[in-house]
Chain A
Amino acid sequence: MLPIVSALKHHKTTVVLVALEIALTCAIVTNALFLIRDRLAFMHMTTGVADNELVWVRTQTLDLGQEADKDSHAGVVAADLAALRGLPGVESVAMTNALPLGGSYSSTVVYRRPGDKSDSLSNVVEYLGSPGMLRTLGISLSEGRDFQPREYSDYQTFGQKSPPPTAVIVTRSFAQQMWPGEDPLGKPIYLGEQGEHATYVVGVAGHLLNPAINKYQGIDRGMILPVRQVRDNSAYVLRVRPDARASVARAIPGALQQVDPARKIEAHVYTDTIAQYFQGDRAMVWLLLVVIGCLLTLTALGVVGLSSFWVQQRTRTIGIRRAIGATRHDILRYFLAENFLIVSLGIVAGSAGAVGLNLWLMHHYELHRMPLSWLPIGALVLWLLGQLAVLGPALRAAAVPPVVATRSV
């Protein structure tokens, strides 16, 4: 090792430059890899529903000011449901106000004790479901039971004219935040503007992702309330044979138009909805991959360029070493070791830089903290890259014949 170090002392500036380049690349690539992993983990979250068997449709009646009276609206919904159930391939149909990763949602405050604002959980996602919603979506309960027919109410998320239903199904993470370490079944929660209405937990869903994931509502903190019909932001969800999804989605507008032609109808295959939710993340992952690719290529080219230069500069020295007994293998090993040393220098600086960059990103862009155990990954990538890049020039160096020593360069 020592002779390498003393030889490097003659090229301080180039060594520093290569180390600096390695350090910068290391800092950025480590963070970019971490960001990619972070996004991929995010994109692979399970929804808690039967992703591959769902089609959903949102309709908007063209509102011409006449506040549609309740009975005719209920009639249209019943006709819609019947029309949708009649489509070939459809197993069941229900109404809901939101779907996991569907984007739009409503959230509310939940009180532990009636009217006690200081003891409440805010930003809890409200899923409203009509009869059969759990079965249609494929939400599985880890405890308790599905709603019973008499528990469905006329409650709506907005303009609350009817009190909330008396039964609720909560998600596991909601239960854990509300009653840490306790059995949630049968416990009351209080809803309404002042927390005046008691609702009792009849079931716990193991996992049900929120319609949108953000820092207020969290990932899967929500509850399902049983309603006869969903009025605000309502959507029909259809459980469909996987192979019939596309054909059902195509058939839906026609079927609904027959019930009531004056409306806007948008049918979606649910897996497309999920893909759309993560579109921005996917674009970011691609961008980061391109950046990583560019940086690594660039750094490799830089290492190749500089090591070729060194090999050329030292041709005579190499010749002398060969002449006095060094094998080709020795020369090869020398250049590989030299590269390893410089890259290591860069990696030490780069790891510090990676942590700093991560802190800066956390501060400005609300990213997660990178665990220190992530650093060796960046280091490994750069060591490999360095060794691969120097291999060509080092092999050329090893090929220098001893006779060069006797010539003047």
Chain B
Amino acid sequence: MEKKRNTKLDLFLTFFKIGAFTFGGGYAMIPLIQKEVCENKKWLTDDDILEIVAIAESTPGPIAINSATFVGYRTAGILGAMCATLGVVLPSFIIITLIAMVLREFSSYRAVKYAFFGIRAGVLALIIKALISMYKKCPKNVFSYCIAAAAFIFAAFTDINAVFIIIGCAVAGLIYFLTTASKAKEASK
């Protein structure tokens, strides 16, 4: 019992540390999780981490939350999952709450306005970089290009709710996958 409680506290503290030191979120967090969870704590193996990344990619939500929940659950059940998730969320929550207060206070300053004027142009470049790295990870075939183009057109030029675009693309992918997969099976027969 004593040992289990320690594991939960340990999960909370470990993921608090991971949450507090990951800038940029998402994949930037994976090496840190691997170091803490596999090398230091030996809760999971490197293979487990690869599995977690694969799962995080095919389930909704941020990778940070997905991996914290998964590692917590594997290590100490549902309570473990809660401790790890709370741990990874808390640093952001505290820091952003403090920043929200500061921003409200300083947003009317001229220097701050000029700073954000410059920052906005820089942020555009960062998002384009994110777009390019997503593109590199995506399979390159006619179907993918059509879906990407359709999602872009619907999201940029129509008022259709983004949720419906996502559902539509998932359904299109499912139909495409099942029909081409069954064709491939017939061909192999």
Physical interaction between A and B? no
